[in-house]
């Protein structure tokens, strides 16, 4: 039961943090390109790489990785924003959103794992 409550709390914090980070970055960038979502997903990939590289117990990994980072990052918003760029005939920004997100996400996850290996 305590693990479920932890999932609810960590997931709630992750979702609120996503809302705050996406909004703050989006306001500063003020572009049609979804930089807020990109910032959230890349930072989340780095955090998940770090968590994955640490020797956490299964419950701790569930709380940190699945509950917090899982609710912080957002695949669905990334895809919706990419689809909307395509609908608006902004093909290159849509393609760039996919490529940049994947490349930076992989690099961020690798960086997170590298940092975990140094701790």
Q: Can you say which residues are annotated as belonging to the binding site?
A: 70, 73
| DSSP code of residue 88 | T
Distance CA 55, CA 46 (A): 16
- Annotated binding-site ranges for Na(+): 70, 73
Q: How many CB atoms lie within 10 A of CB 81?
A: 21
- State phi, psi for 73 to the nearest 5 degrees: -80, 165
Distance CA 117, CA 24 (A): 31
């Amino acid at each position: 039961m305590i693990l479920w409550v932890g999932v609810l709390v960590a997931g709630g914090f992750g979702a609120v943090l996503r809302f705050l980070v996406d909004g703050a970055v989006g306001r500063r960038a003020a572009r049609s390109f979804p930089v807020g979502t990109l910032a959230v997903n890349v930072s989340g990939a780095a955090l998940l790489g770090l968590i994955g590289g640490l020797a956490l117990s299964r419950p701790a990994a569930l709380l940190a990785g699945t509950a917090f980072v899982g609710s912080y990052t957002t695949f669905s918003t990334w895809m919706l924003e990419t689809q909307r760029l395509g609908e608006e005939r902004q093909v290159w920004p849509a393609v760039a959103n996919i490529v940049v997100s994947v490349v930076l996400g992989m690099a961020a996850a690798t960086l997170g794992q590298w940092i975990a290996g140094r701790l």
